[in-house]
Amino acid sequence: MSDNSQPRAIGLDTILNSGFLFGNRYRPEALIGRGGMANVYVGTDTRLRRRVAIKTLRPEVAVDADSRKRFQREAHSVSAMGHPNIVRVYDAGEQTIPDVSADIPIPFIVMEYIDGKILRRLMDAGAFEPKVAVHIALGILDALDESHRSGIIHRDIKPGNVMITHSGLVKVCDFGIAQAIEDPTNDPSAIVGTAQYFSPEQAKGDIIDGRSDLYSTAVVLFEMVTGTPLFTGDTSVSIAFQHVTQTAPRVRSRRPELSPELDMVIAKGLEKDRNARFRTAGEFAAALRSITNLVGGGRADRATRPPETPPVPVSNIATGGAELRGDSQFAVESGLSNNANPNGTDMDLHDLRPLLTSDTPPKGSVVRLALLGAAGLLVIASVIVGMMYWVLTLNSGSNIGSLAVAMPDVTAESFETAESQLTALGLTVVRRVQVSETVPEGTVISTSPEAGVSLAVGEIVTVVESSGKPVIAVPSIDFMTMANATAALEAAGFTVGKVTPGYSPTALVGAVIGSDPKAGTTLSAGSVIDIVVSNGK
C-alpha cells in the first residue's frame, strides 16, 4: 500500500467484541485513550493472566514510515531499561487488523498497566505542598538518571507524561520521541517536545543532551510549587521564545513563603546556559534530597490556579505518553483524550499528601501539644541520655549482629519469587531488566550483592531480571537470491523456515519476493521466518 492511501478507522467492534488478540496473546477489553496518533486499550495478557495496557498506532498514521519508526523507537528505548520510575514495556510487534481497508500492519506496544492518575490532572487543582512536589520531582529525576545512563534522552518531560500511582510511586512514560544520545541516524537538533516545557536549546533547535530534560523537570517543579506555569503566551511560539530570551522568575516571587533553599535549587535547574545547570539528573536529585527537611510542608493555596476544566479522575491508565483528559470531547496536547475509567477507582491528591508530609499536626492537636510541650522535652531528653549510655556501653557480645542477614541465592527464580524472599528478610529490592539469549523472560539473571554476602536489614539489593531474547526487526530480503536472503536472516538472528513459490511479474525466477512475517516486524531472536520465492509464472 502506498503512503498516500487513507485507510478507514479501526472498528471498535472488531477490536473489542470479536476475541481479537494482538500478537496472538493480548486481548483488548476497553478503549481508555483515543487521539490523532494512537489508541490505548486496557486488556489482558492471556498467557500470564495479568492486566496490561496496549498502545496502537492509528492506521492513518501507520502508513507513514517516520511515525512507525518513532513508535518502534519508544518500545526499544523503554524495553532496555528496568526502573521503578519508568513505565515498563513488556512486548511490541505489528498486527494486521481485519477491519481496515488494506493490509496494513499496525504497530503495537504492550505496557505496564498503571493504577493511578496523570500528574497534569492533579496539577489542575493548584499548587502542591513543597514536599509533595519534591517527591514527584525526585521520581522524575531518578527515571531520567536511569534513561540517561542508558544513553536515552527523553526530550518531552511534562506533567502529561508523568503518572502517580495510588501508593505515591512516580512513573515517567512516553519515550516515543526519545533518542539515543550517540545514535548517528537521529537528528539531535530536531525540534520536538512541548513548548511549555521546552529547554532554551530545544526552542532554538540546537543540539541537545540530558541537561535539556533537567530544565524541563525544573519547569514542572516550578509549576507544581507555584501553581502557575513558568511562562504563558498566546501561542506555542511565543512561549518557546520566552524560554530563550526571558530570565526565569524565582519561585518565591510567586509564593514568598517557599524556602530560599528550594528557590535556589529550582533556579539552578532553570539556567538558560546548560553549563550552569546541574550536570546530571543524579546531581539535581541529590540537591533536592539535601533540602528535603527545609522545604516545609504547609498546605498550598489551591485557589492560586483554578482548573481550566473541572478535574475529572483518570485512573488505571498506562498511557505511554498519552495525556488523557477527563472530558473526551476535548483534544489535548498529545492527541489523546480519556474515554473510560475501567475499574471506577480514584485517587485524590489528599491521598498522596499524608504519605509525604508529617509535620502538620491534625486539627485539634495544637493545644494538646502546647500543654505537653515541657513534659515532652523532658521525656525526649531522658531518652537521648539513655540511648547515649547504651551506645557507649556496647561491647562485642551485644546482639547487634542479629540485624545482619545472609544474601540468599535467588538466581533462576522468577522475579516475583525473588522479591518475596528478599523483602521477607527486610532487604530493599531494586529491579533492573536485561535482555538475555539464554535466561527465560521474568527469570532472575543475577543479583548485586551476590549470594552469601552479609547484609544489614534495609540494604538495597539490585535484582537483574531477564526480558528474554532481544527484539529484532525482520530485514528486507526482497529480490535477493535464496542464498543471500538466508544469510541476511541468519545474520540478523532469525531462523529460515518454509520456502514456498509465488508469482511476481517483475522478479527473476528464484528471487525472493517476500517473507512471513514481513520486513520491519519486530520479533525475538531465533524466530522462524518463512520465505516466498518467485516461480516466474
How far apart (Å, rounded) are the C-alpha atoms in residues 316 and 311? 16
Please confirm whether the linkage preceding 449 is cis (ω < 30° from 0).
Answer: yes
Element (H, E) at 72: helix 65-79
Using the 8-state DSSP alphabet, how is residue 86 labeled? Answer: B
Strands 460-466 vs 428-434: parallel, antiparallel or unpaired:
parallel
- Inter-residue contact 169 to 200 (CB < 8 Å): no
Q: Which of the following is catalytic: 45, 142, 145, 156?
A: 156
Q: What is the 3-state secondary structure (H, E, C) of 436-461?
A: CCCCCCCEEEEEECCCCCEEECCCEE
Report residue 108: phi and psi, to 5°. -140, 155
- Identify whether 156 is a catalytic site residue: yes
Greatest extent of the chain over all pairs of C-alpha atoms, in Å: 100
The residue whose grid cell reads 519561585 is 251
Q: Which residue has the cell 494512537?
A: 38
3-state secondary structure 351-383: HHHHHHCCCCCCCCHHHHHHHHHHHHHHHHHHH
Q: At what angle do helices 281-290 and 130-149 cross, to 10 degrees?
A: 160
DSSP 394-445: --TTSGGGGGEEEPP--TTSBHHHHHHHHHHTTPEEEEEEE--SSSPTTBEE
**Residues marked as catalytic:** 156
